[in-house]
Structure formats: structure tokens, C-alpha cells
Structure 1
């Protein structure tokens, strides 16, 4: 059964989405510092940092929406989770190429960005786990129908009524 009427699968997905939300908000904060600093100095907002904020915002919004019960039964959830994974990998590659091999030499801003790169990778891995888990969930909970007419239900949700035809 589960805790308070919730299934174990829903609880596990909820924990996953909670951590996806927390890390997405963390990324928004880490990259938002530089955007705020640029805005206060009258400089333009670099597109790379704006991209990081957009990915973080989309990720946070998606994680909140995924907490809605029974939303994981839709195939679009699996596809969108894969899209989020690709966006996070692109973000990791973009900032990883800039900061992984950089020596901070006591510069707190560069150290913060090096840390942000690893948070990006953690987000990508969480979205990959979410993609695989939602694909498995969808595959095992999809409604199957007969091949030729599409009218008969197959599988564990199928009706066992007789069609009235004799063999």
C-alpha cells in the first residue's frame, strides 16, 4: 500500500523531484549572482548565464508539476524528462569547458562557478534517473489494446468478459 495511502513509487518519485527542485533553485541562485552583479553595473546579461537561469527555472517548474499524482502515466512526461536531461548536459558542457580546469587562485567567484558546474552535473544525473524511471513506469502502466482493431484491452487491466462467441 504505502504511507498515508501513497504508493512507494509515488513517494520515490516525489523524493527525486524534490531534489531536482532543490538543485534547480540552487543553480538559479549560483548563476543569478553574476546576472545581478552585471545588471547593477549596467553591463549586458551574458547569454550563457541567462541560459543557465532558464534551464534552472524550467527544471524547478517541471519538478513542482511532476509532484502532481498520476501525471507520470503520460508519455510526454518521459519525453520532457529527456529534454531536461539534454538541457542540463548542455549546461554542464558549456560551463564545464569554461571552469573545470580553471585555477581559482583564491578568487571566490571562480570557485563558486566551479562548484556550480558540479551542481549542473548532479542535476543532469537526476534528470537522467528521472527519465529512465518514468520510462519504466510508463511502460509498465500503459494501457494496451489489441493490434488489429484497438478495441480490446490487454494486460492486467483487461476485462475478462466473454465475447459471446463460441470456440
Structure 2
């Protein structure tokens, strides 16, 4: 009888195991269907702190280096040159404010009406000085901005600097016509200096050019206006070139993306 009992026992054990496994699977299926169920796959392995960088605590913002293209030496030198020009724009703008502001202040103290030409010179110098100061400060503020400023902003920047170039050109034309070639001359009459005569046929007092000190100051201011004009033409051209370069790069990237899409 033993040869019949042993197979029956084995058959019963296998059936019991299969029934137990089927019952367990059905129970797990019911748990998965219940709302808010979170499966537990066993204890999580401990975090190996040795894989973390040193001096980094919980919640630290870890920034991994990106594969950015290295900046060429010529680009760095050009950036330094433009930064130097921006600083000179700021200094020469303040100089123009001081030269023309002296006459405006005198008119204000004497109760006279401000001359429109001198007011125009002050407004031009203020706009240029403020723009130069903004270009000096902004690189330090936007250094940590991620993502960097949009290259499309270069176009309105160029438009504004082109307007400043027009203002400086107009200012140079106005005062250049008034004071270029005009020199205060001294005549010996009883040992006194005649401050009302100039090297031109019209006296300085009749033409409204002012006294000797004002004429000399305005002659210097005219050439400083020309220097300002040249510097703003340089920076406006630099901004235009950068905008054109970024536009070509964007067009090239768009063409590459279109070719990839066609291949897919």
C-alpha cells in the first residue's frame, strides 16, 4: 500500500501549494485595486553618503558643470575693450554735463530763460550717462541669471544706441557751427583786455557766444561731443554685430532641427 500512499501525499502537497499561491495572488490583486494603496517592496537600501561631494548638506543646490563652449581669447579681449569704452562713455558724459550745466546754472541763478541748445545738451548727456552706467552695472547683475538674457534684446538695444548717436551728432553740429573757428582775441587798449571781440567779424557779445571763458569752455565741449559721438558709434556697431551673429546662429540651429525632423 505504500507505493499508493506516497504518490497521493505528493499530489496533495502540490495541490495545496498551488491553491495557496493562487489565493495569495488574488489577495494582492484586491489590494492593488483599493484606493490610496502604496506598494511596499521591502526596505530601501541605505544611502551611501560617500558618493556625495564633500561639505554638501541636505537640501543643498548642487549644480553640475555643463558642456559649454570655451570663450576664445579674442572674444574676451573684445569684451574688455567694450567695457573700457562703456566706462569712458560714462566719464565723458559727466564731463559734458559739467561743461554745459555751468551755463544753465548761471542762467537759473540770474533769473534768465534757459537756452534751448544748452538744455538739449544736458538732456543728451544725461541719457548717454545713464545708459553707460546701466551697461556697466548690468553684467554684474545678470552673471548668475539662468537662462542668460535673450539675444533678441540686442535689436532694441541697438535702436536705442543709434538714437543716442543721432543726438550726439546733432549736438556736435549745433555747437560746432557756433564755436568751431571762433577764438577770443585780446586788443591792447589802455592795458585792458577786450573780451567782446573775436577772430570772426561778429563780436562774441552780439552773437550770443558769451565771454572769453565761456567761448573757450564751449570750444572744448564741442570736441568732447565729437569724442562721445565716436564712442557711441563704436558700441552701437558692436551691439549690431552681436545681434547679427546670434540671429545667424539661431537660423542655423533651426535648419539643423528641420533636417532632423525630415529624417525622422
Structure 1 residue ranges without an equivalent (≥5): 147-151
Q: Separation in 2 of the partners of 1:2 and 1:22?
A: 29
Residue 14 in 1 paired to residue 83 in 2? yes
Deviations 1:117-141 (A, max 9, x none): 0000111111111111111121112
Residue 46 in 1 paired to residue 115 in 2? yes
Displacement of 1:9 in angstroms is: 3.5
Q: Separation in 2 of the partners of 1:118 and 1:2?
A: 36
Match of 1:99 among 176, 179, 200: 179
Number of residue equivalences: 156
Q: Separation in 2 of the partners of 1:29 and 1:136?
A: 33
* Corresponding residue number in structure 2 for 1:28: 97
Q: Separation in 2 of the partners of 1:116 and 1:37?
A: 17
CA distance 1:62–1:17, shift in 2 (3 Å):
same
Q: Separation in 1 of the partners of 2:229 and 2:150?
A: 19
Residue 56 in 1 paired to residue 125 in 2? yes
Match of 2:251 among 145, 150, 164: 145
* Corresponding residue number in structure 1 for 2:213: 108
Alpha-carbon RMSD across the aligned residues, in angstroms, is: 2.7
Residue 66 in 1 paired to residue 135 in 2? yes
Q: Separation in 2 of the partners of 1:8 and 1:89?
A: 28
* Corresponding residue number in structure 2 for 1:136: 241
Deviations 1:68-89 (A, max 9, x none): 2377942111111111111000
Q: Separation in 2 of the partners of 1:153 and 1:160?
A: 6
Q: Separation in 2 of the partners of 1:71 and 1:111?
A: 45
* Corresponding residue number in structure 2 for 1:163: 261
Higher mean Cα deviation, 113-122 or 131-140? 131-140
The TM-score, its normalising length taken from structure 2, stands at: 0.53
Given that 1:99 and 1:114 are in contact with CA atoms closer than 8 Å, whether structure 2 keeps it comes out as yes
Q: Separation in 2 of the partners of 1:47 and 1:114?
A: 18
The TM-score, its normalising length taken from structure 1, stands at: 0.81
Structure 2 residue ranges without an equivalent (≥5): 1-70, 140-147, 187-211
Q: Separation in 1 of the partners of 2:172 and 2:150?
A: 26
Given that 1:66 and 1:72 are in contact with CA atoms closer than 8 Å, whether structure 2 keeps it comes out as no
Displacement of 1:99 in angstroms is: 0.6
